[in-house]
Amino acid sequence: MTRSTSPVQGRPDPAARTVTSASSTVVARRTSRDIRSDSRLDVLHAVLSAGETTRNALAQSTGLSLATVVTVVNELLAEGIIEEKKEMAAGRIGRPTALIGMNTDRGFVVGIDVAETYVRAVMFDTALNEVLSVESARDEHLLDPDSVVEGIGRTLDHLLDAAGVSRSEVLGVGIALPGLIQGPEGVSVVVPNWTWQKVELERLRERVGLPLVIENPLKSIAIAELWLGGGRRFSSLATVNLGTGVGAGIVLEGRILRGATNTAGEWGHTLLVLDGRRCRCGRRGCVESYIGAPGIQETLREIDPAHPLVDLDMQNDFILALAAVADGPEPDPAVTETIGRTAYYLGSALADLVAVINPEGVTLTGWTTWALGEHLMPATRRHLLEQSPGASARDVELEISTVRGNSVATGVATVVLERFLVDAGLLTSNIPVAL
């Protein structure tokens, strides 16, 4: 028993900022944006997500009153953002059951995924339907700043040429860049082996010559999931991208978790095995070095060094070949064992993510998921449930994302569309990183 009459708490600098812990348990669906803008955003999200819908369905899906939906829809119709699909709706215009959708005559938005092995530019209409996609392989010159800018610019030019779309028809371009960070001195790009700085982002803006937003790839996949995927059902979720690299886009209370320097979600470089495999980030034992595509190939090599798939040169070919063997009629014990171990690694690493952020849902995305996801899912789910502490995974839903295609490009194109609506005065909002 101790007795003390003096304060035991620390007394920090009274001039420091105050915080508000009081409402820490409330899931705040609405932020400080004004309500009218919120209604518009909710309706737009719902229209985009549904493709074609009705005023009645919008009222249901947004939770807004039918009267509010009618008002917002009329405003958005008048501004030409959405349109009534007259040809499909028999009867009087404006009735609650008339079909409405995004007005796709407004132009196009472009999302560009600048990845390790390629630059992919995808054109979408304003309903976020994919129109055309162009991919350039990364060449050895792509690492210096000028070549990166020129590689992106040329890929964009190719896309516009191939689509027969002029720059004046493009509402904006979004570029997802690895290593994008937000610091006190502004935005910069820091990727090992790359030498980008803020000034090169200015050069990128000049080369693109269109309204531009840039975004981190993990945040982009989370945005795609938020607008078009599991984010419509879960207020908190982790979208896990499986490809060459692996990482997580995290949504909490319906918002993207960015972190102090915009680098939250680097789950791919958390430990699976202290002092384990060497990761390309320089650390040893990262999750990515086990379940990134090269890591999966390494697992097969450990199991059967003489297996023919061990020698496949291209990561994507390797993953597709692995899936083909797994789908085939001939059982291949080394492939089965590789998939089993990968599911163990993945489920264990997902349990770590669930332990820390305790989300409602986890969705898997990326080209490894498209190829191997169905093979990995049952065992991954079992390992996740077995290894998550306490009740953290009790209700978690693990699923393959419904947002197919390149979700990095889709996500960053979504930001472009939103930015366009803000710039046009149709939404009040804040865009992550805009140039």
| Nearer to Zn ion among residue 38 and residue 288 (C-beta) | 288
Contact status, residue 232 vs residue 424, Cβ threshold 8 Å: no
In whole angstroms, the minimum distance from the beta carbon of 295 to Zn ion comes to 10
CB of residue 215 to Zn ion, shortest distance in Å: 22
Would you tell me which residues interact with Zn ion (CB under 5 A)? 269, 279, 281, 283, 286
Q: In this complex, which beta carbon is closest to a second copy, that of residue 290 or of residue 318? A: 290
357 binds a second copy (CB under 8 A): yes
Strand-strand pairing, 108-114 and 118-125: antiparallel
Which lies closer to a second copy via its Cβ, residue 97 or residue 129?
Answer: 129
Supply the minimum distance, in Å, between the C-beta of residue 269 and Zn ion. Answer: 4
Question: Which segment (206-214, 325-333, 368-376, 390-398) binds a second copy by CB under 8 A?
Answer: 390-398
CA distance 243 to 369: 8
Residue closer to a second copy by CB (options 326, 412) is 412
Q: Which of these, 94, 103, 106, lies nearest to 69 by C-alpha position?
A: 94
135 binds a second copy (CB under 8 A): yes
Examine residue 263 and tell whether it contacts a second copy (CB under 8 A): yes
* DSSP secondary structure code for residue 79 in this structure: T
Query: Which of residues 7 and 91 has its CB atom nearest to a second copy in the complex?
Result: 7
Q: CA-CA distance, 123 to 12, in Å (whole number)? A: 52
Rounded Cα distance, 155 and 161, in Å: 10
Q: Which does 399 bind (CB under 5 to 8 A by kind): Zn ion, a second copy, none?
A: none
Give the Cα-Cα-Cα angle 81, 86, 92 (nearest 5 degrees): 110
356 forms part of the interface with a second copy (CB under 8 A):
yes
State the minimum distance, in angstroms, from the CB of residue 325 to a second copy: 25
Residues 177 to 216: which contact a second copy by CB under 8 A?
A: 179, 181, 183-184, 190-192
301 binds a second copy (CB under 8 A): no
Taking phi over 0 as left and psi of -120 to 50 as alpha, with beta for the rest, 77 belongs to: alpha
Residue 111: name its binding partner from Zn ion, a second copy, none (Cβ under 5 to 8 Å by kind). none
- Quote the least distance from Cβ 290 to Zn ion, whole Å: 10
Least Å distance, CB 263 to a second copy, is 4
Q: How far apart are CA 224 and CA 226, in angstroms?
A: 5
Distances (CA, A) of 309 to 39, 57, 370: 53, 50, 19
Residue 213's nearest CA partner among 428, 418, 424 is 418
State the minimum distance, in angstroms, from the CB of residue 249 to a second copy. Answer: 11
Q: Considering only residues 8-37, where is the footprint of a second copy by CB under 8 A?
A: 8-26, 28-33
- Number of shown-chain residues binding a second copy (CB under 8 A): 138
Number of Cβ within 10 Å of residue 6's Cβ equals 4
Find the shortest distance in angstroms from Cβ 289 to a second copy: 12
Give me the long-range contacts of 425-428 (CB less than 8 A, separation at least 24): 426/40, 426/76, 426/79, 426/81, 427/37, 427/40, 427/41, 427/44, 428/33, 428/34, 428/37
Residues 368-387 that bind a second copy (CB under 8 A): 387
Using CB under 8 A as the binding rule, whether residue 70 contacts a second copy is answered as no
CA pair distance 210, 420, nearest whole angstrom: 11
Which residue, 309 or 413, has its beta carbon nearer to a second copy? 413
* Residue 242 binds a second copy (CB under 8 A): no
**Cα 367 to Cα 322, 383, 405, distances in angstroms:** 13, 22, 8
248 binds a second copy (CB under 8 A): yes
Closest separation between CB of residue 278 and a second copy, Å? Answer: 13
408 sits near a second copy (criterion: CB under 8 A): no
* Token pair belonging to 99: 């079909």
Beta strands in 151-245 (DSSP E): 170-176, 180-183, 186-189, 212-215, 237-242
**54 within 8 A of 73, measured Cβ to Cβ:** no
Smallest separation (angstroms) from a second copy to the CB of 258: 6
Binding mask 327-346 for a second copy (x = CB under 8 A): ------------------x-
Q: With contact defined as beta carbons under 8 Å apart, do 291 and 246 qualify?
A: yes
Among 67, 90, 93, 260, which residue interacts with a second copy (rule: CB under 8 A)?
Answer: 260
Contact segment (CB under 8 A) with a second copy among 74-82, 314-322, 325-333, 394-402 equals 394-402
148 binds, among a second copy, Zn ion, none (CB under 5 to 8 A by kind): none
Check: CB of residue 70 under 8 Å from CB of residue 57. Answer: no
Burial of residue 378 (number of CB atoms within 10 Å: 0-12, 13-18, 19+): exposed
The residue range among 198-206, 268-276, 292-300, 307-315 that interacts with a second copy, by the rule CB under 8 A, is 268-276
Quote the least distance from Cβ 321 to a second copy, whole Å. Answer: 21
